[in-house]
Structure 1
Amino acid sequence: MPSRHGARRARRLPSRAPGRVPRGLRAFAVLTALTLAFVPACTHSSPPAHASPSPSPGGAAITPQQYQPGAASPPPTLPGDWLTYHHDATRSGDVPDVPPPSRLARSWSAALDGAVYGQPLVVRGLVVAATENDSVYALDRSSGRVVWRTRLGTPAPLSSLPCGDIDPLGITSTPVYEPTTGLVFVVAELAGGRHLLAGIDPVDGTVRVRREVEPPRGTAADHQQRGALTAYDGRILVAFGGLEGDCGDYVGAVVSAAATGAGPLLSYAVPTARQGGIWAPGGPVLTAGAGGRPAVMTSVGNGAAVGGAYDGSDSVVALDPKTLTRTDVFAPSTWAADNAHDLDLGSLTPAVVGRYLLAVGKSGTGYTLDAARLGGVGGQVAQASLCNAPGAFGATAVVGSTVFLPCADGLVRVDVDAAGSARPGWRLALAAAGSPVVGGGAVWVADYAKGVLYALDPATGRALTSAGTGTLPHFASPVLTGGQVLLGTETGVLAFGGA
């Protein structure tokens, strides 16, 4: 089976493994207005004092807690903050107001208590990073000094899980800042295979919300929470897939919880007998779907069916963000063979390219979809061969009609025309391409197998500058903030100057 979730040591994927809105991204403008219009204007805020709240034992019961912020609104966020995976709700990875790249130099290195698989956030100038040891840290952005640390519990040792390749298994996904509460949310896997949703005050690390979130079907311990969290309309969206090895009883799902911690959970489960994981690192994507209404788009992995009736797997699924009911679906006409040979679409987060989505999976075939009408089985607008085997993994970066696509063996520029045809351009060979972002007139990408961070000319793919990083987790993706580049590593967080 493919290496889907990232090993403790970065390695080449085996052959069976794995400030402006860009013109044309009208869907992004719609979502920005819907999700961020209520965030107050930005003002300066001083870093908080050090605090280290007491951890909760990994075996303790998780009691739902309702967060009541009172009359005060959350403090404002700041220019340069990075509040969600790939900077925005569409996961564009296109970052405004970043200076052009110069010679990269390491600014600081923060050794934390575990690997940082998700992107660090930047909230009111503080770097917030979550580790596989179920800890959340706030770091001073200029020095890497620990401002506070919160331990959420004891992570699950690999020996206690039916399969997998992260040891221990704690917080793997990228957190999200939720603007109505002003909290940073993470999902921590605890000993016993339970999943804790925690809302943390970024000022001092106090845990304001704690509740268990579990997928609606299958065995909780057989699921892994890998996709980035998404905030929408006062709720947190959480995607679930399986462990590396596709073992046990898991069924891909999206779960929605109120950011206050109160009320029932909502959920969607892939209608397959088993598997169908929703695990791509970018997590649920928010964009405009049918009728211009907000929609949650997710990519789905291989399911149990290899013939007969279609089972909802190997797909791109549109969900209503308020109810999580499925409103649309696309699957390749080859879905049965894809399921049989582990060549599904679940390995890459869908890319929002204007009115289109670009979906690429382990076969390397790219499918252009009309976001307003995904088309069902075989309903693509166009398709093209974009990646060599074993396909595409992680998440893309999108600027206008150009997509920077992380294939397993390198980064590819893809241009999508007005009719939806996707045409590959330059290709940069890498041992293992991480998920790229764009800013300052450069494409930033990590080769996580060799431990190198690159800034590339977006027109030619030529390296403008590079720097060594040491060992990185699978699908590592940089964060651009002001003149810095931040990167989660197997031991903590690195910061570079020169961006």
Structure 2
Amino acid sequence: PPLTAAPSAPAPATSASGAAGPAPDWPMYHGDPAHDGVSQAMPDVSGALKVIKTVKLDGAVYASPIAVDGVMVVATENDSVYGFDARGNQLWHVSVSTPSPAYERPCGNIDPLGITGTPVYSAQTGEVYLAAEHGRTVGHDLIALDLHTGKVRWRKDIDLPGPTPAAMQQRGALAISGGRVWVSFGAEFGDCSNYKGRVVGVRLDGTGDPVMFDPSTRRQGGIWNPAGPTVDAAGHLYVVSANGSSFPGAAYDHTNSVLELSSSGKLLDSFAPSDWAQNTEGDVGLGSQGVALVGAKWALLGGKSGPVYVLRQGHLGGIGGQVSATDVCLPYGGAAVDGSVVYLPCTDGLRAVRVDSAGHLHVLWHASGQIAGSPVVGGGRVWALDQSGGVLHALDPATGQTLQQVSVGETSRFATPAIYGSLVLVPTLTGMAYVRTS
């Protein structure tokens, strides 16, 4: 497909407070490779929240914005990527492809389907990486853009042999480890046709053949949650595969599992609930939440079937090998982690849980039921969306009570904000909202 870029004259870099010099970067989903979702640099919130800018774009925004060196990067389902400054002035715009309309695909609930997974930035190359679905002959490309101009540096086909490209959806945030960009794949909404959960790794310079890991030898096992791979201090990738095609009586196939991969994509370890096969038969179990890393010891996640599991990093435990399992809620999306406290995006309202020294969970509070978005933390607040109401809530980390709130416009179910200085950047179904917090 043709590429079009429209850079405008770069504006001087400004911080989120308007002073010279950029704020600390937020270069990927929830800010860092572990996806903690915590900004230590955000000023304490004071006064009312204010939407200082709403930018209308050419498509819905499902991915989280990222912010690097004064450039706010946001991607749309119309296969467009934009760069803005901290005041909301457009720096550049590039159309990387033509998105896929619904009639080209066997199922799904995003129309058109373009860029859904959150991009990632590499300081090593100065490039922003994103995965775009294109139409006509439906497929997926990994694309590298120059951060400051939006110019396309390279693109690479990442539809590897096996499944049907039109049945595959790239929803998970991209990650970087071992000199590669990692892209996870699941199914279109409806789990139709010939799809496979898959993680694909491509070198940062786009050269060479991609590497991949498939959890299932047959089909299904989608790695679909929007948090994508979580990366630990050793560069290992933690991903979650959903229900597979092996029902009770069949051999375990690494679906409905937490999988630890090396930085070259090799399987190192796994965990599955003891009832993984029964969960697969009922289309419940794991898959809906990304892995939350708590310190250097614990890994935590829940899923569609109810229990929230605490696992031991470096020794996930195999089938039924969790440290603890607690009925807390059904989390969908990406958690935030601040010390030993994890903020879970539960379908019936955000929960704060603490992991103790023995790996057991203690529920601290339960927020109002409509506040179910994937949270981030900064400025003495927990930030989460009421997606149905289009409202950003600033919660008290100690109680879960709403201290401030502001309307931002309709968002997707999995929308999660980004933090840049004193700004909260919110992806919406029409563009992006800039919320000033102090």
Q: Can you give the 5+ residue segments of structure 2 that lack an aligned partner in the other structure?
A: 1-6, 11-20
Question: How many residue pairs are counted as aligned between the two chains?
Answer: 418
In the alignment, is residue 165 of structure 1 matched against residue 109 of structure 2? yes
Matched residue type, 2:396: D
Q: 1:366 aligns with which of 294, 305, 308?
A: 308
Q: Which residue of 2 aligns with 1:88?
A: 32
How big is each residue's C-alpha offset from its partner over 1:271-290, in whole Å with a ceiling of 9 and x where there is no partner? 242110001111111115xx
Q: 1:217 aligns with which of 162, 166, 177?
A: 162
1:148 Cα deviation from its structure 2 partner: 0.8
Q: Which residue of 1 aligns with 2:361?
A: 422
In the alignment, is residue 174 of structure 1 matched against residue 118 of structure 2? yes
Matched residue type, 2:426: L
Q: Which residue of 2 aligns with 1:328?
A: 269
| TM-score, structure 1 as length reference | 0.82
Matched residue type, 1:334: D
1:294 Cα deviation from its structure 2 partner: 3.2
1:50 Cα deviation from its structure 2 partner: 3.9
The SS at the match of 1:429 is coil
1:221 Cα deviation from its structure 2 partner: 1.3
Aligned-partner Cα distance in 2 for 1:263–1:473: 36
Q: Which residue of 2 aligns with 1:44?
A: none
The SS at the match of 2:280 is helix
Contact 1:272 1:304 in 2 (8 A): no
Contact 2:75 2:81 in 1 (8 A): yes
Contact 2:178 2:235 in 1 (8 A): no
Contact 1:272 1:313 in 2 (8 A): no
1:345 Cα deviation from its structure 2 partner: 1.1
Aligned-partner Cα distance in 1 for 2:90–2:58: 12
Any residues of structure 2 matched to 1:67-466 within 5 Å, and which?
78-102=22-46, 103-142=48-87, 144-191=88-135, 192-288=137-233, 293-307=234-248, 308-322=250-264, 324-354=265-295, 355-387=297-329, 391-431=330-370, 433-466=372-405
Matched residue type, 1:226: R
Matched residue type, 1:357: A
Identity %: 44
How big is each residue's C-alpha offset from its partner over 1:190-242, in whole Å with a ceiling of 9 and x where there is no partner? 00221011100011111001111124431111100000000123210000000
The SS at the match of 2:38 is coil
Q: Which residue of 2 aligns with 1:492?
A: 431
Q: Which residue of 1 aligns with 2:17?
A: none
Contact 2:113 2:133 in 1 (8 A): yes
How big is each residue's C-alpha offset from its partner over 1:257-314, in whole Å with a ceiling of 9 and x where there is no partner? 01111111100001242110001111111115xxxx4311001110011112111111
How big is each residue's C-alpha offset from its partner over 1:351-385, in whole Å with a ceiling of 9 and x where there is no partner? 10121000200112111100110010000011100
Aligned-partner Cα distance in 2 for 1:281–1:463: 25
Aligned-partner Cα distance in 1 for 2:369–2:70: 32
1:145 Cα deviation from its structure 2 partner: 2.1
Q: 1:351 to 1:216 in 2, by over 3 A?
A: farther
The SS at the match of 1:362 is coil
The SS at the match of 2:41 is coil
Aligned-partner Cα distance in 1 for 2:217–2:370: 34
The SS at the match of 1:257 is strand
Q: 1:432 to 1:463 in 2, by over 3 A?
A: closer
| TM-score, structure 2 as length reference | 0.93
Any residues of structure 2 matched to 1:32-47 within 5 Å, and which?
none
Which region of structure 1 is more displaced relative to structure 2, 427-436 or 363-372? 427-436
1:494 Cα deviation from its structure 2 partner: 0.3
Aligned-partner Cα distance in 2 for 1:154–1:267: 26
In the alignment, is residue 475 of structure 1 matched against residue 414 of structure 2? yes
Contact 2:177 2:235 in 1 (8 A): no
Matched residue type, 1:194: G
